[in-house]
Amino acid sequence: MKRLVLCLLSVPVLGLATMALAETWKLAPGETKTYYDEDFTRVDKASGLVVTRIAEGKANGPYRNWAASKGPILLFALDCAADKWMDLGMDFDGSKGLPKGWRKEAKVDDIAGAVGKAGKLACQNKDSLPVVELP
């Protein structure tokens, strides 16, 4: 009986944990193999930068299912008004968060040149993205 109760109580907890890790990899418009994570894309409340991640391969996330042969997941911060982007690094297994001091990274010209059409889409939809307090 105790095992049954414990099992039943753990089901909602697992459901909440899974929701927190939700990823929706979508093919960027006009791209053939570059995907962006729609659930991860958001606006930083402090800076107004759009934080997003992209990867090449096929949309089979979550990370533990993303084969290393598909290439890394790339993290970016976008300054849409200035058409500049910031490189926040690569992630291979989903354990990488935003680096310390990420808002002070050097900005590089041409969002589309680095992030492709996924970056353009993120900037176009900036007003409808969630605004969150990021570390």
Indicate which CATH number applies to the domain containing 36: 2.40.128
Is residue 5 domain-resident?
A: no
Query: What distance in Å separates the CA atoms of residue 102 and residue 61, rounded to the nearest whole number?
Result: 25
pLDDT along the chain (135 residues), means of 10: 42 35 80 86 97 77 56 90 95 78 95 92 96 94
The distance from CA 50 to its chain's CA centroid, rounded to whole angstroms, is 10
Number of domains in the chain: 1
Strand partners, 87: 76
Is residue 8 domain-resident?
A: no
The model's pTM: 0.76
Please provide the distance, in angstroms rounded to a whole number, between the alpha carbons at the two ends of the chain. Answer: 43
Is residue 1 domain-resident?
A: no
Q: What is the pLDDT of residue 5?
A: 39
The burial class, CB within 10 Å (0-12 / 13-18 / 19+), for 71 is middle
Is residue 7 domain-resident?
A: no
| Domain that residue 33 falls in | 23-132
